[in-house]
Amino acid sequence: MDENRAPIVPYVYIKHTGKVRDAEPVRVVSSCNLEIYTFPFDVQNCTFTFNSYIHHMSDIRIILGKKVEDILKRSISVLSTEGEWELMDIKSSKFNLSALDQGESNHYDELYFYIVLRRRATLYVVNLLIPSFFLITVDLFSFLLPPENVDRSSFKMSLIFGYSVFLLIVNDLLPVTGSTIPLINVFFAICLALMVASLLETILITNLLVASSNFHPVPGWVRVLVLRFMGNLVWLPQKSREDKIICNPVAGVSVVQTGEPGKMWAGAGDPALAELRNLGNELQSIRLHMVQHVDGNQISQDWMQVGYILDRLLFGVYCIFITFSFIVILIIWNPPASGAALVRDEEPSHPTDPPALVAAVVRAEEPTHPAGPAMDPG
């Protein structure tokens, strides 16, 4: 606690009943143990303790000069600044402490004020939460960009870089003291982790779409799990494969060739038949090449279909996880009522942040006066 710097008032009030009232103001600067887990929607419960470590109850009685409700109204009306904190409530309680002094039990008065302060969160909502919400929304809608035509990964990397710079800029607005990690830090970490996961998903999908022509055929379990089950789940069913056969409309007779190509012409010695044999071999080679080309395109299309299905599935998982995370954080952030339960500290403490105005009356009793002098610290 700092030294009292209140102005000195060299006056006392004397009443006809013999009561003497000293209205010297007292400026108290103290500290409070902050619970910043729900920052910036936190509500702090701070304590003022008034007692005397020298005088017993027979010398000094500490009582309330006014009702707690009047003290609260007066304190709110005389607050000099409308800063970061808002005074919500003041409660009081009185205890009698006993101590042994040379075999005798002496009692002391002790007066507690429990002060409820709430942080004004508008500044932090505008400067911290709303920009984060905008960036995570842009990252969410970036899934709508076609991955085969647009470089989605560069866009997402720009978002991550911008969000990292944003966190460095607003770092000074975050609390650096406290017994726990603020929930807003967890919120920022979740947003950054979602952006990184979105970038990794984009890299995977782009690899499937671009390099699918070099892959092996789709395994059976992938075809069943992804193309059939997940495809129906995300409304991208697998297209039915139709084998296209081109027939010569002029030919009315179909000839079935058995054995290796060209062997059926091995016994023919006619040059025309030999020429037809070479032509048949070339046509057979062209056919095999076309079959391989068609099969390669089918493999590429299968892998591209797997990429589209995974992209839409991960987009849905991304939306569900963002919604669930934000709902949980908003529930935890829900500010408690102003009349929150206050628990008396076991040991006297002097925390306030910022200082609140309280009033107490200290009355001294002397055997020679019917009513002893009283002091009223401001």
Span 262-312, pLDDT tens digits: 555 455 457 877 777 787 877 777 776 666 655 557 777 888 888 888 889
- Which has more confidence, 234 or 93? 93
- Band the pLDDT of 200: cuts 50, 70, 90: very high
**Percent of the residues in the chain that have a pLDDT greater than 70, as a whole number:** 72
Residue 195 phi/psi, 5-degree rounding, is -65, -40
* Model confidence pLDDT, tens digit, residues 167-192: 999 888 888 766 788 889 999 999 99
State residue 163 phi and psi, 5-degree precision: -70, -35
Considering 7-11, 88-92, 212-216, 254-258, the range whose residues carry the highest mean pLDDT is 88-92
Provide the pLDDT for residue 350: 40
Instruction: Write down the pLDDT at residue 245.
Output: 47
The residues with which 50 forms a beta bridge, in sequence order, are 111
Q: What is the pLDDT of residue 156?
A: 92
More confident of the two residues 249 and 277: 277
The 10s digit of each residue's pLDDT in 1-51 is 567 777 888 888 888 888 888 878 888 788 888 888 888 888 989 988 888
| Nearest CA among 46, 132, 155 for reference residue 90 | 46
- For 97-125, the pLDDT digits (tens) are 766 555 566 778 888 999 999 988 888 99
pLDDT at residue 250, as a whole number: 43
Please report which confidence band the pLDDT of residue 249 belongs to, taking 50, 70 and 90 as the band edges. Answer: very low
CA distances from residue 92 to 26, 210, 280, 318 in whole angstroms, order as listed: 19, 71, 106, 50
As a three-state string, the secondary structure of the chain is CCCCCCCCCCCCEECCCCCEEECCCCCCCCCCCCCCCCCCCCEEEEEEEEECCCCCCCCEEEECCCCHHHHHHHHHHCCCCCCCEEEEEEEEEEEEEEEEECCEEEEEEEEEEEEEEEECCHHHHHHHHHHHHHHHHHHHHHHHCCCCCCCHHHHHHHHHHHHHHHHHHHHHHCCCCCCCCCHHHHHHHHHHHHHHHHHHHHHHHHHHHHCHHHCCCCCHHHHHHHHHHHHHHCCCCCCCCCCCCCCCCCCCCCCCCCCCCCHHHCCCCCHHHHHHHHHHHHHHHHHHHHHHHHHHHHHHHHHHHHHHHHHHHHHHHHHHHHHHHHHHHHHHHCCCCCCCCCCCCCCCCCCCCCCCCCCCEEEECCCCCCCCCEECCC
Does the pLDDT value for residue 355 go beyond 60? no
